[in-house]
Structure 1
């Protein structure tokens, strides 16, 4: 047994080039691809350990920077082409894109997003010591970069695989999803080190797991009930097909569907309609909105709905092509007020990046057919509902940990509205729901989620799904939610603690490798 372990260590350490490059790339691609099954709806979390462990094992041997980069790129392509394949439905089914072109676009997306792991592998190979701490630190760094670089696409984080594994996700209220990712990756790399008979790293991993498990066992209550009666809520799921949702001739029918579903819900404390459930601007639906407000007031109900909001008052004819408009949520009815404007917009879906460049082309300049949503301020007041403050996130805003954290400050519970009809029966909507669970856990708040086609759900402050509606059904989800007060450590400090830790680890690893190199030369 000892001889076989020594032989394994030698093969990994000094003879990497004996493995054909094509074999290594296939292994890396498959390692990235299997990560999908660690996330919802599959939930086989051990693959969130196995997948990065394989990449670590492939990168440990001595190799050129070029080889390391393409191994990382192959892993990233497998991760995104498979884990993000739900985008195919939106591209192919709802954008009239031919199958071959949609597949090419998914491949290009994987190629682009794979660069994050490509550069991770390059830096790991050339600039820092090859050990679990630097690997885990680089992994978290690239996850964090995905929250803002090139507008951000914060998806497929390792920490999400452990959302309902509280022996590890108990770290989330303390330091966020990145802390969960860090410990998981450290554990994955340490398992490889165990095979190499370098157990010191495993000791530290076990220690961090012990801390996380202790938090789970002790079960600290970072937030507490406000002491007010629970609110009765009704979440309306209209199940409007994306094919017809924005068709002018179907707009009135959409309003009728939501009004009919809500007819039996007036009298509840809060009724919530999903993102853009009113498929027209507020001035175009003024009469209908007035009717809903009258009904809400008459039945002592608060009504919250998603709606495109046009701000005519902010329009300047000399500088603007059209009045700014926003993907918004409004609160109306009894003891309700507020307007929330979406901050994180979807590139090409809600706005055209570098739209001003189009003015260079005469055929496109000033085109009124090309319009972008405006971005809401990052300093918005929460919605007011029955003496409670509600933090709001629209659609994929909830994928941004820091945006949701800021919106959660000084609130009693959280709300997200979404329209995931774009992604059909793919894993996308379920991965999206899993992120909402993590945000609830990070911020110690109940989260209500109203969607067009699902998954509509009520989630408690521990990230557990209390109730959920079936997907692709026209239905109403009824439940009770608890207002909570107080701040989790994550709400107070955000990502700063984990970012400071990984920065220190990378600096230590960088200078440590430099000193080792100097000693060898000396």
Structure 2
């Protein structure tokens, strides 16, 4: 291994770039749908060895010396995000005539921008670089902080944070309750970088031992937490949930000629009798923007919904909500959730707060529209964001935290705004991305929100993957990607064993502080040895 490490450290030019790119791309195999997390034991040691050899000329000043480390991290990140997000280009092919020109921007441009974060992480870690365990602590701290920054810089896009790669199954998801996804990202980099110490000898015993202890604690806590959940007696929710997955092709979704067929399909699936011996569903869930029209333009729709619902049943559906302009202001459209009772009355609503840039709205809209740019979801001229976040109250005394589409990837948005909720409600439409890894990655990130909050997750997706997830992140009912149908599940109960988000934030800060102290101590020790 020493010879491999030396060869990688001494690589230069195109070979160095390709090694970093390949190491980042390989790491994607740890993510859904592959879940082969062991590849990280290759990707991160390669990154460490590349950074060992990343030293700039002292004559160029601090930034000049940091440049090779930044470039190494950028190429690693570019490989990771190209291999992990290429499927975003599929959304542009739904309306290829209007958006195919932007395909390179989605497949290469966005990864190039996101790779800047990993470039900064590598450069910051290099400032505290040493030749032992301290350097993997520096790398872990830098990645933890940069993944946290990805959650809010430029509106935030923390998709596929490194920590998700270490959580392929519920047994390995429970630690996120303690440290959050950003803490898991720091620990993931530390643990999976440890084999690099074998290739350079110094600190190998301590580093490998620390990694083994952390990995064992990770798995051990998973076993403990799941057993604790199973032993804890909680009052049953009393609700039976029906998820409707209509599998509507995205190109047909807003076709006026298809409206009646789509609406009738949703009503027919919702009215399917339960299987013999099973309880009639109390709550029927349709996916994001399931209604193929504005309710205000189709006054008979609510009556048809009321006719479909039986006494005591409730429909929860994604829809576009229209708000007429007042006092000269422009009309507004919201990506919303409606709660409709068995009399066809709207008894609750929630609007999406965190919109997708360039998908649901245009940043710097006035300027960019002059250049002919429009949001990808341009059907209604772009959406407006909700002013505030609140819970939905569903019949049966259920408090639901609404997470529309990719809001589920933001841990802060799943916090309960008013008291303790009963469930997380994620309505989404991943049909934009076809039969690609995207929907699998999206589901995994939503699963982790259930573990963090210890709330069950109800997820309705247009073409999949719809699922009901318990408070331990275990899927207890689902429909696969690309399949139309329904399934009924008794709503799992929430757990009263949960940590407040501020405790996770404190633990994350503590992990970063410990790693930084380790890195500083190792850096000083190295200087003393060479002075």
TM-score, scaled to structure 1:
0.88
Q: Is 1:311 aligned to 2:323, yes or no?
A: yes
Distance 1:363 1:144 in 2: 34
* 1:345 CA drift (Å): 0.5
CA spacing shift, 1:160–1:230, aligned 2, 3 Å? farther
Return the offset for 1:394. 0.7
Q: CA deviation at 1:59?
A: 0.8
What is the number of equivalent residue pairs in this alignment?
Answer: 505
Matched, 1:251 2:255: no
Determine the structure 1 residue equivalent to 2:298. 285
For residue 409 of structure 1, report the CA deviation from its aligned partner.
Answer: 5.8
Task: Answer with 120-129 or 463-472: which moved more.
Answer: 120-129
Q: Indicate how the Cα distance of structure 1 residues 459 and 408 shifts in structure 2: closer, same or farther if over 3 A, else same.
A: farther
CA distance in 2, matches of 1:364, 1:141: 34
Determine the structure 2 residue equivalent to 1:180: 184
| Correspondence 1:395-414 to 2 at 5 A | 395-406=405-416, 410-414=420-424
* Aligned-partner Cα distance in 1 for 2:306–2:512: 50
Shift of the 452–399 alpha-carbon distance from structure 1 to 2, 3 Å rule, reads: same
CA–CA distance in structure 2, aligned partners of residues 364 and 55 of structure 1: 38
State how 1:27-426 maps to structure 2 within 5 Å: 27-61=19-53, 63-64=55-56, 65-96=66-97, 102-103=103-104, 105-127=106-128, 129=130, 131-166=135-170, 168-197=172-201, 198=203, 199-219=205-225, 221=228, 226-264=234-272, 267-293=280-306, 295-296=308-309, 298-312=310-324, 315-318=325-328, 320-322=329-331, 324-333=332-341, 337-357=347-367, 371-406=381-416, 410-426=420-436
Structure 1 distance, partners of 2:170, 2:481, is 26
Deviates more, 1:97-106 or 1:123-132: 97-106
- The answer to whether the 8 A contact 2:177-2:504 is kept is no
* Aligned equivalents of 2:243, 2:351: Cα separation in 1: 20
1:48 and 1:408 map into 2 onto residues whose CA distance is 40
The separation in 2 between residues aligned to 1:77 and 1:511, in whole angstroms, is: 31
Question: Is the counterpart of residue 495 in structure 1 residue 501 in structure 2?
Answer: no
Deviates more, 1:40-49 or 1:214-223: 214-223
Q: 1:439 to 1:49 in 2, by over 3 A?
A: farther
Give the CA deviation at 1:99: 6.5
Asked whether the 8 Å contact 1:86–1:426 carries over to 2, the reply is yes
Distance 1:105 1:457, change over 3 A: closer
Alpha-carbon contact 2:287-2:462 (below 8 Å) kept = yes
Does the C-alpha gap of structure 1 residues 93 and 326 become closer, same or farther in structure 2, counting only changes over 3 Å? Answer: closer
Cα deviation, residue 185, structure 1: 1.2
Stretches of structure 2 that go unaligned for 5 or more consecutive residues are: 57-65, 275-279
Cα displacement string for residues 369-412 of structure 1 (whole angstroms, at most 9, x for unaligned residues): 98331212443133323112112211111111121234696111
Question: Cα 1:470–1:310, aligned 2, differ >3 Å: closer, same or farther?
Answer: same
Q: What is the aligned partner in structure 2 of residue 469 from structure 1?
A: 479
Distance in 1, Cα, partners of 2:418 & 2:247 = 28
Distance 1:494 1:331, change over 3 A: farther
Deviation readout 1:474-514 (Å, 9 max, x if unpaired): 21122222222425225453434203431563366458747
TM-fit CA distance, 1:116: 0.9
1:502-521 matches, cutoff 5 A? 502-503=512-513, 505-506=515-516, 509=519, 513=523
| Alignment check: 8 A CA contact 1:80 1:113 kept | yes
User: Retained in 2: the 8 A contact 1:134–1:505?
Assistant: yes
Superposed displacement of residue 60, structure 1: 2.1
1:295-332 Cα distance to aligned partner (Å, 9 max, x none): 43x432111110111233xx3333x222x221111112
Give 5+ residue unaligned stretches, structure 1.
none
Q: TM-score, normalised by structure 2?
A: 0.86
Task: Go from structure 1 to structure 2 and tell me whether the alpha carbon gap of 1:170 and 1:364 turns closer, same or farther (over 3 Å shift).
Answer: closer
Deviates more, 1:266-275 or 1:407-416: 407-416
For 1:239 and 1:57, locate their aligned partners in 2 and report how far apart those are by CA, in whole Å.
47
When residues 439 and 105 of structure 1 are mapped into structure 2, their CA distance, relative to the original with a 3 A threshold, is: closer
Larger mean Cα displacement after TM superposition, 144-153 or 158-167 = 158-167
Alpha carbon RMSD of aligned pairs, Å? 3.1
- Counterpart secondary structure, 2:334: strand
Aligned to 2:277: none
Deviations 1:9-56 (A, max 9, x none): 7x37xx94x423211110110111112211111111112343223212
